[in-house]
């Protein structure tokens, strides 16, 4: 099994006027319950767009979760705020990982 990174870039709808990060609890909680989930990192790009990087135990587990997410939590505020046409999802096999100890 090869660990996989799921890299999703997207923009928010112009009318999404709330703290997007604060509204992501439902998404993070859902991901944490999925088989193969390892970690999630959500970042805001300099151009105002967003990047969501999720690390999975395998590509198959990442793809299975991607197939279910909209049906299961697509109606939560964070998911409704995303401009569907802006979403780009890619996967990459993890070639190297390094974790720094806390406080390093």
Cα 40 from Cα 37, distance rounded (Å) = 8
Domains of the chain: 4-93 (3.30.70.100)
Note the pLDDT of residue 87: 97
Over the stretch 67-99, which tens digit does the pLDDT of each residue have? 999 999 999 999 999 999 999 999 999 999 888
In terms of phi and psi (left: phi > 0; alpha: psi -120 to 50; beta: otherwise), the region of 8 is: beta
Backbone angles phi, psi at 79, to 5 degrees: -70, -40
* Model pTM score: 0.91
Note the pLDDT of residue 16: 84
């Amino acid at each position: 099994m090869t660990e996989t990174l799921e890299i999703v870039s997207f923009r928010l709808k112009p009318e999404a006027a709330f703290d997007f990060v604060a509204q992501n609890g439902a998404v993070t909680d859902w991901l944490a319950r999925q088989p193969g989930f390892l970690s999630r990192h959500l970042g805001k790009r300099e151009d105002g767009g967003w990047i969501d990087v999720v690390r999975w135990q395998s590509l198959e587990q990442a793809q299975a979760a991607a197939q279910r997410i909209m049906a299961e939590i697509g109606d939560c505020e964070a998911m409704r705020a995303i401009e569907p046409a802006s979403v780009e999802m890619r996967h990459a096999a993890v070639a190297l990982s390094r974790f720094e100890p806390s406080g390093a």
